[in-house]
Amino acid sequence: MKANTHPDYHEVTIIQTDGTEYKTRSCMGKPGEKMRLDVDPLSHPAWQGGTQKVVEKQQLKKFENKYGSFLSGNAGREDEAKGKK
């Protein structure tokens, strides 16, 4: 086998959006480098009741009006019924 084919796997510090830090190992950057997260479980809507917020803002209704409901199995059929396709 060739020598030195694997990347350098070292310790880095992850800084979340609220400032909390933790150490992990990564191939990113240089040893001891800090990675600031723009999106993490503390700030992303998927982990913070995102589905609830989407329903509240009626984004789901807008999506279903445009594309149909995937859950009911009639996705895109409104357009076919209207003759738009």
Which ranges of the chain does DSSP label H, i.e. alpha helix? 50-56, 59-67, 77-82
Asked whether the whole model's pTM tops 0.85, one would answer: no
If asked whether residues 67 and 84 sit together in one domain, one would say: yes
Please name the helix (run of DSSP H) or strand (run of DSSP E) that holds residue 29, with its range, or none: none
If asked whether residues 38 and 52 sit together in one domain, one would say: no
3-state secondary structure of 36: strand
Q: Is residue 58 assigned to a domain?
A: yes
Predicted confidence at residue 85, as pLDDT, reads 47
Q: Is residue 70 assigned to a domain?
A: yes
Range of the domain at 23: 8-43
**What does the alpha-carbon distance between residue 48 and residue 51 come to, in Å, rounded to a whole number?**
9
Each residue's pLDDT tens digit, 42-68: 777 666 665 665 556 677 777 788 887
**What does the alpha-carbon distance between residue 58 and residue 38 come to, in Å, rounded to a whole number?**
26
**What does the alpha-carbon distance between residue 61 and residue 59 come to, in Å, rounded to a whole number?**
5
Q: What is the percentage of the chain residues whose pLDDT exceeds 70?
A: 65
**pLDDT score of 13 more than 50:** yes
